[in-house]
Amino acid sequence: MSEFTVPSWDEYFLGIAQAVSTRAKCRRRKVGCVLVLDRRIISTGYNGAASGEPDCLEGACPRGMLSYDQVPGLGDYDRPGTPGFCIAIHGEVNALLYATRDTKGAVAYITDPPCPGCRKALAAAGIQRVVWPGGEYDRVGLTNWAV
């Protein structure tokens, strides 16, 4: 009898998040997110420009056009008109926007730790747990800004 290795649920859904990230339209990083409720996927999202708008791969993102040594800190990230401005909607937010049902009690599987803005959005949407490779937040971690 041969042995089969079955991934844990966390490993399984993180693998799907990794696959989702391949659709990201960003020159700097590719982030994928999968929202899961009762071990069923209710939504996926990846980072990129708003639907129907020119994206980073088309040269529409000021931040994406900078070389890595020119990129300012996160302070300019959300300030239109600055060289560090990024047009991308984060994968977590896209997953929340396209969820087909209530996300209260769901788990978010993400390819990277969520930024502070995404932590707030996930908490507001009722997400109970966030998992990424090498880490996780439970509901308290999502709303504990000192973490």
Please name the residues in contact with 137: beta carbons below 8 A apart, sequence gap of 6 or more.
114, 119, 129, 130, 147
pTM as predicted: 0.89
Task: Please list the active-site residues.
Answer: 92
Please name the residues in contact with 42: beta carbons below 8 A apart, sequence gap of 6 or more.
35, 36, 99, 100, 101, 103, 106
With residue 120 as reference, give the H or E element that holds it: helix 116-124
Task: Indicate left, alpha or beta for 109 from its phi (over 0: left) and psi (-120 to 50: alpha).
Answer: beta
Q: What is the pLDDT along the chain (147 residues), one digit of tens a residue?
A: 678 899 999 999 999 999 999 999 998 889 999 999 999 999 999 999 999 999 999 989 888 888 777 776 666 677 787 777 888 999 999 999 999 889 999 999 999 999 888 999 999 999 999 999 999 998 888 888 665
